[in-house]
Structure formats: structure tokens, C-alpha cells
Amino acid sequence: MTTDKKQIQEFLDIELPQLQKCAESVDDKALTKAKKIILNAEKKHGRVHVTGIGKPGHVAGYIASLFSSIGTPTYELHGTEAVHGSSGQVNPGDVVIAISNSGETNELKATVTALKKNGAHIIACTGNPESWLAREGEVCLTAHVDQEGDSMNKPPRASILSEILVLQCLSILLQNERKLTPDQYVKWHPGGSLGKSILEKKGKK
């Protein structure tokens, strides 16, 4: 085995069990509560936003895009710009999904505090269910891992994937609640190979 291949295998041997452990500990009751918070807000014309600091901020962008593509219009909220005016995009009654592995990031604390004062509902997504963020959320979606995947155990790898996994579970609940069909989906995703595959299938009928 080459040195590179060995390093890759060592990483995978750490990371994959962490993701499996996260999957096995997914809290369906917390996810159901998060779904209801979003659906109840939508009934009152509330919107959904996703925010995070650093790497979780990139997760926020993906989740906002994913939710929007399945019928839950969702907006990315910049984690630090929120306290410099961007929290104005969040109306009272809106839902904010706040992502932080530690749940103790100072910048996110300031953002969540401001958003709650402005009347937002907070859904926490964190690797630490005992954290400040977990306590501030109306519900906590736990995405915990013990190891990130390398000897330093610092650069976020497994924790990022666990956050994505848990929030993808929430996206499934929202998608199925809306009984999303290919015809509806292609309205929001007409481009690319994905849209083409649905349109071609429709044309064959």
C-alpha cells in the first residue's frame, strides 16, 4: 500500500464510523418538532433562514439551496453580517436554523441573541447538546462526532458531514409533507442534467 493510499484509508477508517454513529443517533422526535416549527411559521407567512460561522456557514448555503429546491423557500443568512444589518432580512415569526459544531461560537451567539430579540424562532444544529446554542434553540438537532478524521482532530470534516446529514433528514420530512412530485420539482429545477432527465421522462409518456 502506498503512503498516500494508507493515509486516505486511515482517514476513511476514522470518518465513516463517525458518520454511522451520527446516523444511528438521529433524533426523529427533534426533527419532527423542527418540521412543525417550520410549517407553523409558513402558515403565518414566516420564512426560513440558515446561518453559521466558518465552515458551517458553507453548510448553511447548501441547506438553504436544498430546502428551496424542494418547496421550502429558504435564505442563507451571513453569520457575522447579521449583527451589522443583515438580520433585517429576518422578520418576526421567521425561522432561523443556526449551525455550530461547538455551539459556543461567540459570533453566532451575538447573531442568535439579536435574532431572538427580533422575534425569530431558532432551530439549533450542533454537535454539543449541552451547549449555549442548544439551550437557546426551541429544538436542538444534534450532529455529534467524536473525531474529525485526522490526528489533529481539529479541521472540520466529519462534523460538517454530520450537520449535512441531520439537516438532510429534515429536508426529507419537509419534502414528504408537501408530497413533492417530479412535475413540481422540475418547476424549481428545470436546468442541468437533473431537470433534463425529468423532462425527458415526461416526454416519453
pLDDT tens digits, residue range 82-131?
888 888 999 999 999 999 999 999 999 999 999 999 999 999 999 999 99
Domain residues for the domain of 172 are 43-184
How far is Cα of residue 110 from the mean position of the Cα atoms in its chain? 20
Residue 62 in domain: yes
CA pair distance 100, 52, nearest whole angstrom: 6
For residues 81 and 103, the model is more confident at 103
Could you give phi then psi for residue 34, rounded to 5 degrees?
Answer: -60, -40
Residue length of the chain:
205
Contact of 101 with 159, CB cutoff 8 Å = yes
Residue 86 in domain: yes
Residue 122 in domain: yes
Q: How many domains does the chain have?
A: 1
Confidence of residue 192 (pLDDT cuts 50, 70, 90): low
Provide the CATH number for the domain around residue 109: 3.40.50.10490
CA pair distance 107, 83, nearest whole angstrom: 9
pLDDT of 188 > 90? The answer is no
Residue with cell 409518456: 205
Residue 31 in domain: no
Contact of 194 with 165, CB cutoff 8 Å = no
Residue 143 in domain: yes
| b/e code 2-18 from CB counts within 10 Å (16+ = b) | eeeeeeeeebeebbeeb
Residue 124 in domain: yes
Burial (CB < 10 A; 0-12, 13-18, 19+), residue 145, is: buried
Residue 167 in domain: yes
In the chain, % of residues over pLDDT 90? 80
Report the candidate in 135, 131, 41, 142 with the shortest Cα–Cα distance to residue 92.
41
Residue 200 in domain: no
